[in-house]
């Protein structure tokens, strides 16, 4: 599958998700605690972040694990941001390997990552998902990848309300899955640099884990806790969380 972590709050280094915590994404790459499918997440590492006054995110992706990349460990402690989205990848069979397949993906002001698998993506389900993308998002697809296609569906639905865009994209994906009686795990984390919206969602499949935590004037979302702080709370199955520097709002997915 994958492991994802996101942060929003006062400026903090990228390493605060990737390397510093006792159960950082680097640790989750080789020793995940709550991975439903697969064993390790060593098929790529990526991070997206926002520079001051920049409306669109910067992105760094590599096919290497967090410890094997020649540059990321040194950069991560020196680059800081108010919003960070990071991921380590466990490639799904049938989905190609390479940096262009590594989350987070970006489009305009958004960055997003998907933890899951869409059954039948290399068949009619994927064909219909790709066909449903508007021209601008289809032109940006570039690769046949279920996670990027799902993220671009969010980008296509985004008109200022991130929670609404995520809900719309998941509903559209659910309709396609229902048409072919296909299953999918659909944990999705998307941020615009100011807030993070994350869904713990599944269709005819076991749910992947998702957690939130409050840290004074900042908040986090992660596939599994980055440490043993009791502030980490499991997101209920079938729920959407909207996270800002000051609040966490949880609601059922419509």
Q: What is the predicted pLDDT for the residue at 78?
A: 97
Q: What is the predicted pLDDT for the residue at 1?
A: 65
Q: What is the predicted pLDDT for the residue at 58?
A: 98
Per-residue pLDDT band for 35 (boundaries 50, 70, 90) equals confident
Q: What is the predicted pLDDT for the residue at 92?
A: 84
Q: What is the mean pLDDT of the chain?
A: 95
Average pLDDT over residues 74-102: 93
Q: What is the CATH number of domain 2-252?
A: 3.60.20.10
Per-residue pLDDT band for 8 (boundaries 50, 70, 90) equals very high
Tens of pLDDT, residues 15-26:
999 999 999 999
Residue 50's nearest CA partner among 213, 197, 195, 212 is 195
Average pLDDT over residues 107-122: 96
How far out from the chain centre does Cα 253 lie? 17
SS (H, E, C) the chain: CEEEEEEEEEEEECHHHHCCCCCCHHHHHHCCCCCCCCCCCCCCEEEEECCCCCCCCEEEEECCCCCCCCCHHHHHCCCEEEEEEEEEECCCCCCCCCHHHCCCEEECCEEEEEECCECCCCCHHHHHHHHCCCHHHHHHHCCCCHHHHHHHHHHHHCCCCHHHHHHHHHHHHHHHHHHCCCCEECEEEEECCCCEEEEECEECCCCCCCEEEEECCEEEEECCCCCCCCCCEECCCCEEEEECCCCEEEEECC
Tens of pLDDT, residues 123-173:
999 999 999 999 999 999 999 999 999 999 999 999 999 999 999 999 999
Per-residue pLDDT band for 215 (boundaries 50, 70, 90) equals confident
What percentage of the chain has pLDDT greater than the value 70? 100
Q: What is the predicted pLDDT for the residue at 94?
A: 79
Tokens 């960055």 correspond to what residue? Answer: 111
């Amino acid at each position: 599958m994958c492991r994802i972590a996101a942060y929003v709050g006062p400026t903090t280094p990228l390493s605060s998700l990737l390397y510093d915590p006792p159960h950082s994404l680097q640790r989750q790459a080789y020793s995940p605690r709550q991975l439903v499918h697969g064993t390790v997440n060593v098929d790529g590492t990526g991070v997206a972040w926002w520079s001051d006054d920049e409306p669109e995110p910067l992105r760094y992706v590599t096919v290497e694990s967090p410890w094997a990349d020649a540059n990321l460990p040194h950069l991560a402690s020196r680059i800081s941001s108010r919003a960070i989205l990071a991921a380590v990848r466990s490639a799904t069979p049938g989905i190609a390997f390479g940096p262009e397949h590594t989350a987070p993906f970006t489009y305009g002001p958004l960055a997003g990552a998907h933890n899951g698998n869409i059954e039948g993506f290399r068949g009619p389900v994927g064909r219909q998902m790709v066909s449903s993308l508007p021209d601008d998002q289809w032109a940006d697809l570039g690769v046949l990848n279920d996670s990027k296609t799902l993220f671009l569906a969010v980008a296509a639905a985004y008109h200022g309300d991130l929670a609404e865009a995520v809900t719309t994209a998941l509903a559209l994906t659910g309709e396609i899955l229902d048409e072919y009686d296909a299953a999918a795990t659909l944990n999705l984390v998307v941020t615009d640099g100011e807030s993070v919206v994350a869904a713990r969602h599944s269709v005819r499949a076991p749910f992947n884990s998702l957690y939130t935590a409050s840290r004074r004037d900042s908040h986090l979302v992660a596939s599994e806790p980055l440490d043993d702080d009791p502030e980490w709370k499991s997101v209920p199955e079938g729920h959407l969380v909207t996270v800002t520097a000051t609040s966490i709002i949880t609601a059922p997915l419509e």
